[in-house]
Structures are given as C-alpha cells and as structure tokens.
Copies of this chain bind each other. A is one copy, B any other.
C-alpha cells in the first residue's frame, strides 16, 4: 500500500519530468540539476558560472530551498533570469515545481538552465526534473566517506565536483579515497577537484560545460 503510493508519486513525477525534458529539448536549453549537501558550495558555483559565461550564453537559474529567498537574492545581482522555489519544508524539488516556474523564463533565449536543488544528499536524487545532467558537489569538510554512504546521488551524477579543496589540509579528507569510491560507483564520471571561491581548478569544469552548451546549440 505505502509502496504503491510512493511508486505512484514517482511515476507521476517521471511523467511530468519527461514533459519538461521535451520542452527543454525543443527550446535547445541545456539543463543542469545541481545537487549537494547544505553548504557544499552550490550557490557560489552558480555565481561563478554566471560571471564566467556572461555575455556569451544566457543563463537561467531556479533556486530550490525549503524557506527564504536568500539564494535567489544573491543570484539576482548577476541575472534577472532567476526564480526561487520554496518547498515549505519539502526535502527535494519535483518536476511539477520546476514546470510551474518555466513560464517565468524566455526559454527561446536561454542557453543554460541551472536548477539548484534543496541541500540534501538523499531525496533530490530520486526525483528526475527533466534535466540533461545531474552535477553533484561534495565538499572536503563533509569527509571522504560520503560517496559510499550516499551512493545513489553519485551513481546518477554526470559530473562530480569535489569542492573546497583549499580546506584539504585543514580536514582529514583523502582525495584519493574519495575519487576511488566515486569511480567504484560511477566508473566513467569526470571528477573536478576545485576551489570555487579562489578560482582554483575551474577551467576544466568550464570547458566541460561549454562543450555541452555548444553541442546543445547545434
């Protein structure tokens, strides 16, 4: 009984997500579902991407949080193409929440849509939103044991970013262990260790992203 209800909710979500996906495909918008723990650096990464690609690509942002417009307020300084979703306590975004925001964007003109999900390594991984790729952040202070403890989100990732590498020496995070565990779960996934605030290691991520933006446009 409970399982059926859960399955129905997931099936209904999948249906709406595929509708979102079709729309993104038709409008040639490349869509990232950005995932990670609270404080892993998602919003700061979005700010950097907006700054780096400014003038070359038009980027829309959907900010997901339980409450507050803190993240959208930050992003609004860099683009007007931003919408805050408040889940009112919900632990993840779903396809319907995303669908309802899409009328706020001129999708014909948007090249990249970044959906910053609720800070949570568990539930957001279970709900497809219609995105092209999931990008997962793991910050060094969280510890290198997290990939095997939260495997689904790392299995689903098209890219894993190991953020806050400036704190490597201040923590007991082993980059080698983390990379090995992520590769065990997801052998082909590109992994980018970087420090967003200090612009360290960002080039490879930008190149990875630009290749996908170019492909989508064709």
Contact = CB atoms under 8 A, between A and B. Distances in A.
A209 interface: no
Interface stretch (A20-28, A49-57, A63-71): A63-71
A70 B144 CA distance: 11
Contacts of A151: 66-67
Interface residues of A, number: 35
A139 interface: yes
A38 B143 contact: yes
A119 interface: yes
B145 A70 contact: yes
Interface string A1-35: 01001000100000000000000000000000000
A120 B91 contact: yes
Interface of A: 2, 5, 9, 37-39, 65-68, 70, 89-91, 118-123, 139, 141-143, 145-146, 148-152, 164, 166-167, 170
